[in-house]
Amino acid sequence: MKVRRSDRLIDMTRYLLERPHTLISLTYFARRFDSAKSSISEDLTILKRTFHERGTGILETVPGAAGGARFIPSISKQEAEQFVKQMASSLSEQSRFLPGGYVYMSDLLGRPDILRQVGRIIASEYQDGTVDAVMTVATKGIPIAQSVASYLNVPFVIVRHDSQITEGSTVSVNYVSGSSNRIEKMALSKRSLKPGSKVLVVDDYMKPGGTVRGMQSLVKEFDSTVVGISVFAEGALTGDRVVEGYTSLLTVGTEDEQVNVTAGNYLEKIFTD
Amino acid sequence: MKVRRSDRLIDMTRYLLERPHTLISLTYFARRFDSAKSSISEDLTILKRTFHERGTGILETVPGAAGGARFIPSISKQEAEQFVKQMASSLSEQSRFLPGGYVYMSDLLGRPDILRQVGRIIASEYQDGTVDAVMTVATKGIPIAQSVASYLNVPFVIVRHDSQITEGSTVSVNYVSGSSNRIEKMALSKRSLKPGSKVLVVDDYMKPGGTVRGMQSLVKEFDSTVVGISVFAEGALTGDRVVEGYTSLLTVGTEDEQVNVTAGNYLEKIFTD
Protein backbone atom coordinates (compact mmCIF):
# COMPACT_ATOMS: atom_id res chain seq x y z
CA MET A 1 0.00 0.00 0.00
CA LYS A 2 1.28 3.41 -0.92
CA VAL A 3 2.15 5.67 1.95
CA ARG A 4 1.01 9.27 2.09
CA ARG A 5 3.57 12.06 1.95
CA SER A 6 2.79 13.21 5.50
CA ASP A 7 3.38 9.70 6.87
CA ARG A 8 6.58 9.35 4.88
CA LEU A 9 7.95 12.66 6.18
CA ILE A 10 7.29 11.68 9.80
CA ASP A 11 8.87 8.26 9.51
CA MET A 12 11.82 9.49 7.41
CA THR A 13 12.56 12.15 10.01
CA ARG A 14 12.78 9.56 12.77
CA TYR A 15 14.71 7.12 10.61
CA LEU A 16 17.34 9.67 9.57
CA LEU A 17 17.72 11.20 13.04
CA GLU A 18 18.42 7.76 14.49
CA ARG A 19 21.19 7.10 11.95
CA PRO A 20 23.43 10.16 11.75
CA HIS A 21 26.31 10.13 9.24
CA THR A 22 24.79 7.16 7.42
CA LEU A 23 23.80 7.35 3.75
CA ILE A 24 20.26 6.05 3.38
CA SER A 25 19.54 5.26 -0.26
CA LEU A 26 16.58 6.46 -2.29
CA THR A 27 16.00 2.81 -3.11
CA TYR A 28 15.63 1.92 0.56
CA PHE A 29 13.05 4.64 1.20
CA ALA A 30 11.22 3.91 -2.05
CA ARG A 31 10.76 0.28 -0.96
CA ARG A 32 9.97 1.13 2.63
CA PHE A 33 7.12 3.38 1.55
CA ASP A 34 6.22 1.70 -1.73
CA SER A 35 6.65 5.07 -3.44
CA ALA A 36 8.42 6.36 -6.52
CA LYS A 37 12.00 7.55 -6.16
CA SER A 38 10.91 10.92 -7.56
CA SER A 39 8.46 11.33 -4.64
CA ILE A 40 11.16 10.35 -2.13
CA SER A 41 13.45 12.91 -3.74
CA GLU A 42 10.86 15.59 -3.20
CA ASP A 43 10.40 14.46 0.42
CA LEU A 44 14.14 14.80 1.01
CA THR A 45 14.08 18.34 -0.37
CA ILE A 46 11.41 19.26 2.17
CA LEU A 47 13.32 17.54 5.00
CA LYS A 48 16.52 19.31 4.02
CA ARG A 49 14.84 22.70 4.12
CA THR A 50 13.13 22.11 7.47
CA PHE A 51 16.26 20.66 9.12
CA HIS A 52 18.16 23.71 7.93
CA GLU A 53 15.55 26.27 8.96
CA ARG A 54 15.05 24.73 12.42
CA GLY A 55 18.79 24.27 13.09
CA THR A 56 18.39 20.50 13.47
CA GLY A 57 21.40 19.83 11.30
CA ILE A 58 22.43 19.29 7.71
CA LEU A 59 20.70 16.85 5.41
CA GLU A 60 23.22 16.02 2.71
CA THR A 61 21.48 14.75 -0.39
CA VAL A 62 23.41 12.67 -2.88
CA PRO A 63 21.85 12.92 -6.37
CA GLY A 64 21.41 10.13 -8.88
CA ALA A 65 19.99 6.62 -8.87
CA ALA A 66 22.58 5.43 -6.33
CA GLY A 67 21.93 8.54 -4.26
CA GLY A 68 20.15 9.16 -1.02
CA ALA A 69 20.48 11.28 2.09
CA ARG A 70 22.74 11.54 5.09
CA PHE A 71 21.89 13.42 8.28
CA ILE A 72 24.78 15.38 9.81
CA PRO A 73 23.99 16.72 13.28
CA SER A 74 25.15 20.28 13.80
CA ILE A 75 24.38 23.27 15.95
CA SER A 76 24.05 26.96 15.20
CA LYS A 77 26.36 29.51 16.77
CA GLN A 78 23.43 31.05 18.57
CA GLU A 79 22.21 27.79 20.10
CA ALA A 80 25.74 26.75 21.10
CA GLU A 81 26.38 30.13 22.74
CA GLN A 82 23.12 29.95 24.61
CA PHE A 83 23.85 26.45 25.90
CA VAL A 84 27.40 27.32 27.01
CA LYS A 85 26.10 30.43 28.76
CA GLN A 86 23.38 28.47 30.54
CA MET A 87 25.85 25.77 31.68
CA ALA A 88 28.36 28.38 32.86
CA SER A 89 25.67 30.05 34.90
CA SER A 90 24.35 26.80 36.44
CA LEU A 91 27.85 25.61 37.32
CA SER A 92 28.82 28.93 38.86
CA GLU A 93 26.47 28.41 41.81
CA GLN A 94 28.55 28.73 44.93
CA SER A 95 27.02 25.58 46.47
CA ARG A 96 28.89 23.56 43.85
CA PHE A 97 32.29 24.35 45.32
CA LEU A 98 34.10 21.24 46.60
CA PRO A 99 37.28 20.98 48.66
CA GLY A 100 40.41 20.89 46.50
CA GLY A 101 39.07 23.41 44.02
CA TYR A 102 36.62 21.06 42.29
CA VAL A 103 33.09 21.81 41.19
CA TYR A 104 30.16 19.41 41.56
CA MET A 105 28.67 18.72 38.14
CA SER A 106 27.42 15.12 38.29
CA ASP A 107 23.76 16.17 38.52
CA LEU A 108 23.94 18.07 35.23
CA LEU A 109 25.87 15.27 33.54
CA GLY A 110 23.14 12.81 34.53
CA ARG A 111 20.38 14.71 32.75
CA PRO A 112 19.45 13.34 29.31
CA ASP A 113 18.52 16.77 27.91
CA ILE A 114 21.90 18.24 28.84
CA LEU A 115 23.88 15.22 27.67
CA ARG A 116 22.05 15.37 24.36
CA GLN A 117 23.20 18.95 23.80
CA VAL A 118 26.75 18.25 25.00
CA GLY A 119 26.98 15.35 22.59
CA ARG A 120 25.53 17.34 19.75
CA ILE A 121 27.84 20.31 20.32
CA ILE A 122 30.99 18.20 20.53
CA ALA A 123 29.99 16.04 17.55
CA SER A 124 29.42 19.19 15.47
CA GLU A 125 33.16 19.85 15.54
CA TYR A 126 33.84 16.48 13.88
CA GLN A 127 31.08 16.52 11.31
CA ASP A 128 33.51 15.81 8.46
CA GLY A 129 33.24 12.16 9.40
CA THR A 130 36.87 11.43 10.27
CA VAL A 131 36.18 9.85 13.67
CA ASP A 132 35.97 6.01 13.86
CA ALA A 133 35.70 5.67 17.63
CA VAL A 134 35.26 7.77 20.75
CA MET A 135 37.44 7.01 23.78
CA THR A 136 37.02 8.06 27.39
CA VAL A 137 38.17 6.98 30.81
CA ALA A 138 35.84 5.66 33.52
CA THR A 139 33.75 6.96 35.22
CA LYS A 140 32.44 10.42 34.54
CA GLY A 141 33.53 10.75 30.94
CA ILE A 142 31.32 7.83 29.92
CA PRO A 143 27.98 9.64 29.53
CA ILE A 144 29.66 12.32 27.42
CA ALA A 145 31.43 9.74 25.25
CA GLN A 146 28.17 7.89 24.74
CA SER A 147 26.28 10.97 23.70
CA VAL A 148 29.01 12.15 21.32
CA ALA A 149 29.26 8.64 19.87
CA SER A 150 25.53 8.53 19.25
CA TYR A 151 25.64 11.78 17.25
CA LEU A 152 28.69 10.59 15.28
CA ASN A 153 27.18 7.11 15.05
CA VAL A 154 30.45 5.36 15.92
CA PRO A 155 31.28 3.05 18.86
CA PHE A 156 32.87 4.30 22.07
CA VAL A 157 35.42 2.55 24.25
CA ILE A 158 35.98 2.89 27.97
CA VAL A 159 39.49 2.96 29.44
CA ARG A 160 39.63 1.77 33.04
CA HIS A 161 41.89 2.27 36.01
CA ASP A 162 41.16 -1.20 37.31
CA SER A 163 41.53 -4.18 35.07
CA GLN A 164 38.32 -6.20 35.11
CA ILE A 165 37.87 -9.90 34.50
CA THR A 166 34.97 -9.12 32.15
CA GLU A 167 37.23 -7.21 29.76
CA GLY A 168 39.44 -10.13 28.72
CA SER A 169 43.08 -9.35 27.98
CA THR A 170 43.98 -5.70 28.12
CA VAL A 171 46.70 -3.30 27.03
CA SER A 172 47.81 -0.95 29.75
CA VAL A 173 49.97 2.15 30.02
CA ASN A 174 51.40 4.08 32.92
CA TYR A 175 50.91 7.80 33.03
CA VAL A 176 51.59 10.72 35.32
CA SER A 177 48.42 11.99 36.91
CA GLY A 178 48.76 15.75 36.67
CA SER A 179 46.83 16.61 39.78
CA SER A 180 48.56 14.21 42.18
CA ASN A 181 51.85 13.83 40.27
CA ARG A 182 51.62 10.10 40.87
CA ILE A 183 52.27 7.34 38.38
CA GLU A 184 48.98 5.65 37.59
CA LYS A 185 47.86 2.92 35.26
CA MET A 186 45.05 2.72 32.74
CA ALA A 187 43.98 -0.23 30.63
CA LEU A 188 41.81 -0.94 27.62
CA SER A 189 40.45 -4.26 26.50
CA LYS A 190 42.54 -5.58 23.61
CA ARG A 191 39.61 -6.35 21.40
CA SER A 192 37.77 -3.08 21.90
CA LEU A 193 39.71 -0.94 19.39
CA LYS A 194 40.75 -1.92 15.86
CA PRO A 195 44.29 -0.98 14.73
CA GLY A 196 44.28 2.06 12.49
CA SER A 197 41.32 3.71 14.23
CA LYS A 198 40.88 7.46 14.21
CA VAL A 199 40.01 8.25 17.79
CA LEU A 200 38.27 11.19 19.40
CA VAL A 201 39.25 11.44 23.09
CA VAL A 202 36.63 12.98 25.38
CA ASP A 203 36.39 13.59 29.10
CA ASP A 204 34.25 15.50 31.54
CA TYR A 205 37.05 17.49 33.14
CA MET A 206 40.68 18.20 32.37
CA LYS A 207 43.15 20.02 34.55
CA PRO A 208 46.79 19.73 33.47
CA GLY A 209 45.71 16.90 31.18
CA GLY A 210 47.62 13.88 32.53
CA THR A 211 44.70 11.53 32.00
CA VAL A 212 44.14 12.70 28.44
CA ARG A 213 47.86 12.26 27.79
CA GLY A 214 47.57 8.72 29.13
CA MET A 215 44.80 8.05 26.65
CA GLN A 216 46.95 9.46 23.85
CA SER A 217 49.69 6.93 24.59
CA LEU A 218 47.12 4.16 24.88
CA VAL A 219 45.79 5.05 21.42
CA LYS A 220 49.35 4.70 20.07
CA GLU A 221 49.61 1.23 21.61
CA PHE A 222 46.64 0.28 19.43
CA ASP A 223 48.41 1.61 16.30
CA SER A 224 45.71 4.22 16.10
CA THR A 225 45.61 8.01 15.87
CA VAL A 226 44.04 10.69 18.03
CA VAL A 227 42.12 13.00 15.70
CA GLY A 228 40.59 15.21 18.37
CA ILE A 229 40.36 15.93 22.10
CA SER A 230 37.18 17.43 23.55
CA VAL A 231 36.36 18.05 27.18
CA PHE A 232 33.23 19.35 28.81
CA ALA A 233 35.21 21.54 31.21
CA GLU A 234 38.82 22.50 31.68
CA GLY A 235 40.15 23.72 34.99
CA ALA A 236 41.74 27.16 34.97
CA LEU A 237 45.50 26.66 35.33
CA THR A 238 48.45 28.68 36.46
CA GLY A 239 51.03 26.18 35.22
CA ASP A 240 51.42 24.49 31.84
CA ARG A 241 49.02 22.06 30.29
CA VAL A 242 50.54 18.83 29.00
CA VAL A 243 47.97 18.52 26.21
CA GLU A 244 47.60 20.70 23.12
CA GLY A 245 44.94 21.17 20.49
CA TYR A 246 41.98 20.31 22.70
CA THR A 247 38.53 21.84 22.71
CA SER A 248 36.64 22.72 25.90
CA LEU A 249 33.06 23.87 26.32
CA LEU A 250 33.73 25.50 29.69
CA THR A 251 36.51 26.82 31.88
CA VAL A 252 36.19 26.27 35.61
CA GLY A 253 37.90 28.65 37.98
CA THR A 254 37.78 28.24 41.75
CA GLU A 255 40.06 30.90 43.13
CA ASP A 256 39.67 31.74 46.84
CA GLU A 257 36.89 29.14 47.10
CA GLN A 258 34.79 31.15 44.64
CA VAL A 259 33.34 29.19 41.74
CA ASN A 260 33.60 31.00 38.42
CA VAL A 261 32.68 29.10 35.29
CA THR A 262 33.08 30.76 31.90
CA ALA A 263 33.06 29.72 28.23
CA GLY A 264 35.87 27.44 27.10
CA ASN A 265 37.60 27.70 23.73
CA TYR A 266 34.88 25.87 21.77
CA LEU A 267 32.89 28.84 20.54
CA GLU A 268 35.83 30.81 19.19
CA LYS A 269 37.42 27.68 17.73
CA ILE A 270 34.32 26.50 15.88
CA PHE A 271 32.62 29.72 14.90
CA THR A 272 35.51 31.85 13.65
CA ASP A 273 34.64 33.89 10.63
CA MET B 1 5.21 33.50 8.84
CA LYS B 2 2.91 30.52 8.72
CA VAL B 3 4.60 27.17 8.46
CA ARG B 4 3.47 24.52 5.99
CA ARG B 5 2.02 21.28 7.27
CA SER B 6 4.92 19.22 5.91
CA ASP B 7 7.45 21.40 7.73
CA ARG B 8 5.40 21.25 10.92
CA LEU B 9 5.21 17.46 10.83
CA ILE B 10 8.98 17.10 10.40
CA ASP B 11 9.83 19.48 13.20
CA MET B 12 7.14 18.16 15.55
CA THR B 13 8.43 14.63 15.05
CA ARG B 14 11.93 15.64 16.09
CA TYR B 15 10.66 17.80 18.93
CA LEU B 16 8.47 15.08 20.42
CA LEU B 17 11.04 12.29 19.99
CA GLU B 18 13.62 14.35 21.89
CA ARG B 19 11.23 14.84 24.83
CA PRO B 20 9.63 11.50 25.72
CA HIS B 21 7.06 11.43 28.51
CA THR B 22 6.65 15.21 28.37
CA LEU B 23 3.33 16.85 27.59
CA ILE B 24 3.86 19.43 24.87
CA SER B 25 0.90 21.78 24.71
CA LEU B 26 -1.10 22.69 21.65
CA THR B 27 -0.41 26.29 22.58
CA TYR B 28 3.32 25.74 22.38
CA PHE B 29 3.15 24.18 18.93
CA ALA B 30 0.64 26.76 17.70
CA ARG B 31 3.05 29.55 18.64
CA ARG B 32 6.13 27.74 17.38
CA PHE B 33 4.58 27.36 13.94
CA ASP B 34 2.31 30.40 13.95
CA SER B 35 -0.59 28.09 13.13
CA ALA B 36 -4.12 27.54 14.42
CA LYS B 37 -4.62 25.04 17.23
CA SER B 38 -7.05 23.16 14.99
CA SER B 39 -4.28 22.62 12.42
CA ILE B 40 -1.90 21.43 15.13
CA SER B 41 -4.59 19.04 16.34
CA GLU B 42 -4.83 17.56 12.88
CA ASP B 43 -1.03 17.26 12.70
CA LEU B 44 -1.02 15.34 15.96
CA THR B 45 -3.62 12.92 14.63
CA ILE B 46 -1.35 12.17 11.66
CA LEU B 47 1.70 11.79 13.91
CA LYS B 48 -0.20 9.47 16.22
CA ARG B 49 -1.22 7.22 13.36
CA THR B 50 2.25 7.05 11.82
CA PHE B 51 3.99 6.44 15.18
CA HIS B 52 1.55 3.62 15.79
CA GLU B 53 1.81 2.06 12.34
CA ARG B 54 5.62 2.18 12.29
CA GLY B 55 6.03 0.89 15.84
CA THR B 56 7.82 4.07 16.94
CA GLY B 57 5.77 4.35 20.10
CA ILE B 58 2.58 5.81 21.44
CA LEU B 59 1.56 9.41 20.94
CA GLU B 60 -0.86 10.20 23.74
CA THR B 61 -3.03 13.14 22.81
CA VAL B 62 -4.73 15.13 25.52
CA PRO B 63 -7.84 16.87 24.18
CA GLY B 64 -9.06 20.37 24.98
CA ALA B 65 -7.56 23.84 25.05
CA ALA B 66 -5.05 22.84 27.76
CA GLY B 67 -4.28 19.67 25.84
CA GLY B 68 -1.35 18.58 23.79
CA ALA B 69 0.65 15.47 23.10
CA ARG B 70 3.08 13.22 24.90
CA PHE B 71 5.38 10.72 23.20
CA ILE B 72 5.72 7.37 25.02
CA PRO B 73 8.50 5.18 23.59
CA SER B 74 7.50 1.56 23.23
CA ILE B 75 8.42 -1.50 21.24
CA SER B 76 6.38 -4.17 19.51
CA LYS B 77 6.61 -7.80 20.55
CA GLN B 78 8.01 -8.69 17.16
CA GLU B 79 10.77 -6.08 17.23
CA ALA B 80 11.70 -6.94 20.83
CA GLU B 81 11.87 -10.65 20.02
CA GLN B 82 14.01 -10.00 16.99
CA PHE B 83 16.43 -7.84 18.98
CA VAL B 84 16.75 -10.35 21.83
CA LYS B 85 17.34 -13.15 19.33
CA GLN B 86 20.00 -11.16 17.51
CA MET B 87 21.79 -10.28 20.77
CA ALA B 88 21.64 -13.88 21.99
CA SER B 89 23.16 -15.07 18.75
CA SER B 90 25.95 -12.43 18.73
CA LEU B 91 26.82 -13.10 22.37
CA SER B 92 26.89 -16.87 21.87
CA GLU B 93 30.06 -16.68 19.77
CA GLN B 94 32.58 -18.97 21.39
CA SER B 95 35.34 -16.34 21.13
CA ARG B 96 33.50 -14.33 23.78
CA PHE B 97 34.19 -16.84 26.52
CA LEU B 98 36.32 -15.43 29.33
CA PRO B 99 37.99 -17.23 32.25
CA GLY B 100 35.70 -17.50 35.26
CA GLY B 101 32.60 -18.13 33.17
CA TYR B 102 32.17 -14.55 31.93
CA VAL B 103 31.25 -13.42 28.46
CA TYR B 104 32.81 -10.46 26.68
CA MET B 105 30.10 -7.96 25.77
CA SER B 106 31.73 -4.53 26.02
CA ASP B 107 31.94 -4.13 22.24
CA LEU B 108 28.17 -4.48 21.84
CA LEU B 109 27.47 -2.21 24.80
CA GLY B 110 29.62 0.51 23.20
CA ARG B 111 27.55 0.65 20.02
CA PRO B 112 25.01 3.50 19.87
CA ASP B 113 22.53 1.50 17.74
CA ILE B 114 22.46 -1.36 20.24
CA LEU B 115 22.31 0.89 23.29
CA ARG B 116 19.41 2.75 21.72
CA GLN B 117 17.41 -0.48 21.41
CA VAL B 118 18.40 -1.70 24.88
CA GLY B 119 17.25 1.59 26.38
CA ARG B 120 14.03 1.58 24.40
CA ILE B 121 13.19 -2.01 25.34
CA ILE B 122 13.84 -1.53 29.04
CA ALA B 123 12.03 1.83 29.12
CA SER B 124 8.98 0.22 27.49
CA GLU B 125 8.40 -1.78 30.66
CA TYR B 126 8.08 1.43 32.69
CA GLN B 127 6.01 3.46 30.26
CA ASP B 128 3.39 4.23 32.92
CA GLY B 129 5.67 7.04 34.04
CA THR B 130 6.33 5.96 37.63
CA VAL B 131 10.12 6.20 37.43
CA ASP B 132 11.78 9.42 38.74
CA ALA B 133 15.41 8.35 38.41
CA VAL B 134 17.54 5.53 37.03
CA MET B 135 20.37 4.15 39.17
CA THR B 136 23.34 2.02 38.18
CA VAL B 137 26.77 1.16 39.49
CA ALA B 138 30.02 2.09 37.71
CA THR B 139 31.30 1.12 35.17
CA LYS B 140 29.53 -1.02 32.65
CA GLY B 141 25.97 -0.30 33.72
CA ILE B 142 26.38 3.39 32.90
CA PRO B 143 25.68 3.29 29.14
CA ILE B 144 22.55 1.24 29.76
CA ALA B 145 21.35 3.56 32.50
CA GLN B 146 21.93 6.55 30.26
CA SER B 147 20.01 5.08 27.37
CA VAL B 148 17.08 4.00 29.55
CA ALA B 149 17.04 7.42 31.22
CA SER B 150 16.93 9.16 27.86
CA TYR B 151 13.83 7.18 26.82
CA LEU B 152 12.16 7.78 30.18
CA ASN B 153 13.42 11.36 30.16
CA VAL B 154 14.53 11.25 33.81
CA PRO B 155 18.01 11.73 35.31
CA PHE B 156 20.32 8.83 36.10
CA VAL B 157 22.72 8.49 39.03
CA ILE B 158 25.95 6.53 39.21
CA VAL B 159 26.88 4.57 42.32
CA ARG B 160 30.63 4.09 42.73
CA HIS B 161 32.92 1.65 44.45
CA ASP B 162 35.52 4.33 45.04
CA SER B 163 34.56 7.56 46.66
CA GLN B 164 35.72 10.47 44.51
CA ILE B 165 36.59 13.96 45.59
CA THR B 166 34.45 15.34 42.75
CA GLU B 167 31.28 13.84 44.20
CA GLY B 168 31.19 15.84 47.41
CA SER B 169 29.84 14.10 50.49
CA THR B 170 28.48 10.63 49.90
CA VAL B 171 26.27 8.02 51.54
CA SER B 172 27.75 4.55 51.48
CA VAL B 173 26.59 1.02 52.26
CA ASN B 174 28.37 -2.28 52.65
CA TYR B 175 27.12 -5.27 50.73
CA VAL B 176 28.07 -8.86 50.09
CA SER B 177 29.37 -9.32 46.58
CA GLY B 178 27.72 -12.53 45.45
CA SER B 179 30.45 -13.72 43.16
CA SER B 180 33.36 -13.30 45.56
CA ASN B 181 31.41 -13.48 48.82
CA ARG B 182 33.39 -10.51 50.06
CA ILE B 183 32.09 -7.48 51.86
CA GLU B 184 32.33 -4.50 49.54
CA LYS B 185 31.35 -0.86 49.70
CA MET B 186 29.39 1.34 47.35
CA ALA B 187 28.69 5.05 47.63
CA LEU B 188 26.45 7.66 46.08
CA SER B 189 26.81 11.39 46.17
CA LYS B 190 24.44 12.84 48.74
CA ARG B 191 23.02 15.47 46.47
CA SER B 192 22.42 13.23 43.49
CA LEU B 193 19.12 11.67 44.57
CA LYS B 194 16.14 13.48 46.11
CA PRO B 195 14.34 11.81 49.04
CA GLY B 196 11.12 10.11 47.97
CA SER B 197 12.41 9.19 44.53
CA LYS B 198 11.02 6.21 42.64
CA VAL B 199 14.11 4.48 41.36
CA LEU B 200 14.67 2.04 38.53
CA VAL B 201 17.86 0.02 39.14
CA VAL B 202 19.66 -1.16 36.00
CA ASP B 203 22.89 -3.04 35.35
CA ASP B 204 24.63 -4.80 32.50
CA TYR B 205 25.07 -8.14 34.21
CA MET B 206 23.68 -9.83 37.33
CA LYS B 207 24.75 -13.13 38.74
CA PRO B 208 23.46 -13.84 42.26
CA GLY B 209 22.54 -10.16 42.50
CA GLY B 210 24.72 -8.89 45.36
CA THR B 211 25.44 -5.61 43.61
CA VAL B 212 21.77 -5.00 42.84
CA ARG B 213 20.96 -5.78 46.46
CA GLY B 214 23.56 -3.23 47.52
CA MET B 215 21.82 -0.63 45.36
CA GLN B 216 18.49 -1.54 46.94
CA SER B 217 19.82 -0.75 50.39
CA LEU B 218 21.41 2.43 49.12
CA VAL B 219 18.06 3.54 47.72
CA LYS B 220 16.56 3.02 51.21
CA GLU B 221 19.25 5.22 52.71
CA PHE B 222 17.94 8.00 50.48
CA ASP B 223 14.35 7.42 51.76
CA SER B 224 13.48 6.35 48.27
CA THR B 225 11.84 3.29 46.69
CA VAL B 226 12.98 0.80 44.09
CA VAL B 227 10.17 0.51 41.54
CA GLY B 228 11.96 -1.81 39.14
CA ILE B 229 15.14 -3.78 38.44
CA SER B 230 16.24 -4.40 34.87
CA VAL B 231 19.44 -6.02 33.68
CA PHE B 232 20.78 -6.56 30.21
CA ALA B 233 21.94 -10.08 31.04
CA GLU B 234 21.62 -12.46 33.98
CA GLY B 235 24.08 -15.28 34.52
CA ALA B 236 22.58 -18.78 34.66
CA LEU B 237 22.69 -19.91 38.29
CA THR B 238 22.71 -23.17 40.16
CA GLY B 239 22.23 -21.56 43.58
CA ASP B 240 19.71 -18.96 44.73
CA ARG B 241 19.43 -15.41 43.56
CA VAL B 242 19.28 -12.79 46.30
CA VAL B 243 17.12 -10.46 44.22
CA GLU B 244 13.50 -10.95 43.19
CA GLY B 245 11.20 -9.32 40.70
CA TYR B 246 13.86 -8.32 38.21
CA THR B 247 13.66 -8.30 34.42
CA SER B 248 16.46 -9.56 32.19
CA LEU B 249 16.80 -9.32 28.43
CA LEU B 250 19.20 -12.26 28.21
CA THR B 251 20.42 -15.30 30.16
CA VAL B 252 24.10 -16.16 29.87
CA GLY B 253 25.20 -19.74 30.39
CA THR B 254 28.84 -20.80 30.22
CA GLU B 255 28.89 -24.44 31.23
CA ASP B 256 32.01 -26.43 30.34
CA GLU B 257 33.53 -23.31 28.78
CA GLN B 258 30.73 -23.23 26.19
CA VAL B 259 28.94 -19.92 25.78
CA ASN B 260 25.18 -20.25 25.48
CA VAL B 261 23.12 -17.06 25.55
CA THR B 262 19.33 -17.29 25.44
CA ALA B 263 16.36 -14.99 26.03
CA GLY B 264 15.87 -13.69 29.57
CA ASN B 265 12.49 -13.27 31.23
CA TYR B 266 11.68 -9.93 29.54
CA LEU B 267 9.62 -11.17 26.63
CA GLU B 268 7.32 -13.42 28.63
CA LYS B 269 7.01 -10.83 31.39
CA ILE B 270 6.08 -7.92 29.11
CA PHE B 271 4.12 -9.57 26.34
CA THR B 272 1.80 -11.86 28.27
CA ASP B 273 -1.72 -11.59 27.05
pLDDT value at B1 more than 80: no
**H or E segment to which residue A217 belongs:** helix A210-221
Residues above pLDDT 90, as percent of chain B: 85
Q: Report d(CA B195, CA B228) in Å as an integer.
A: 17
Sign, CA torsion A245/A246/A251/A256: negative
Question: Does the distance separating the beta carbons of B158 and A139 come in below 8 Å?
Answer: yes
With a cut of 70, say whether residue B273 has pLDDT above it.
no
A157-188 per-position pLDDT tens digit: 999 998 778 888 999 999 998 767 789 999 99
Nearest to A112 among B14, B149, B160 (CB): B149
* For range A120-129, the mean pLDDT: 96
pLDDT confidence of residue B101: 83
Least confident of B138-152, B211-225, B238-252: B238-252
Within B18-172, residue ranges assigned H as helices are 26-32, 37-53, 77-91, 112-125, 142-152
Mean of pLDDT values over A256-268 = 94
Over the stretch A91-113, which tens digit does the pLDDT of each residue have? Answer: 999 999 998 888 999 999 999 99
Tens of pLDDT, residues B81-140:
999 999 999 999 999 999 888 899 999 999 999 999 999 999 999 999 899 999 999 999
H or E element that contains A172: strand A170-177
**Hey, what CATH topology would domain A77-270 get?**
Rossmann fold (3.40.50)
A203-236 pLDDT per residue, tens: 999 998 999 999 999 999 999 999 999 999 999 8
Q: Note whether B235 and B206 are within 8 A (CB).
A: yes
| Extents of the domains making up chain A | 5-73, 77-270
- Helix ranges (H only) for A126-265 are 142-152, 210-221
Residue A257 confidence class, pLDDT cut points 50, 70, 90: confident
Which residue in A3, A6, A186, A197 has the most chain B C-beta atoms within 10 A of its own C-beta, making it the best mutation to test that interface? A6
**ipTM field:** 0.96
Backbone angles phi, psi at B243, to 5 degrees: -125, 140
Distances (CA, A) of A185 to A86, B3, B65, B69: 36, 56, 60, 50
Q: How far is B35 from B29, CA to CA, in rounded Å?
A: 8
The residue-averaged pLDDT of A134-150 equals 97
Q: Contacts of residue A155 in chain B, CB cutoff 8 Å?
A: 107, 110-112
Q: Mean pLDDT over residues A76-89, rounded?
A: 97
**Contact residues on chain B for A17, CB-CB shorter than 8 A:** 14, 17
Over residues B30-53, mean pLDDT: 96
Task: Give the pLDDT confidence score for residue A49 in this predicted structure.
Answer: 97
Beta pairing class for A156-159 and A133-137: parallel
For B160-175, the pLDDT digits (tens) are 998 778 888 999 999 9
CB contact under 8 A, A7 and B49: yes
- Residues A5-73, CATH architecture: Orthogonal Bundle (1.10)
In this complex, the residue of A14, A111, A164 whose CB is nearest that of residue B17 is A14
**Cβ-based contacts of B153 with chain A (< 8 Å):** 112-113
Whole-number pLDDT of residue A64: 81
Chain-wide mean pLDDT for chain A? 94
Residues of chain A with Cβ-Cβ distance to B112 below 8 Å are: 146, 149-150, 153-156
Shortest Cα distance, chain A CAs vs residue B193, angstroms = 9
Q: Is B210 helix (H, G, I), strand (E, B) or coil?
A: helix
Q: Give bridge partners of residue B203 from the DSSP assignment.
A: B231
Over range A229-244, report the average pLDDT: 90
Cβ atoms of residues A192 and B107 within 8 Å:
yes
Q: According to the model, what pLDDT value does residue A132 have?
A: 97
Question: Which among A57-66, A233-242, B245-254 has the top mean pLDDT?
Answer: B245-254
Mean pLDDT of B130-158: 97
Q: What average pLDDT does the segment B153-161 reach?
A: 97
The whole-number pLDDT of residue A228 equals: 98
DSSP state of A34: T
Return the pLDDT at B179. 67
Are the Cβ atoms of A149 and B9 closer than 8 angstroms?
no
Locate all alpha helices (DSSP H) within A101-175, ordered by sequence: 112-125, 142-152
For residue B6, the model assigns a pLDDT of: 97
Q: pLDDT at position A179, please?
A: 67
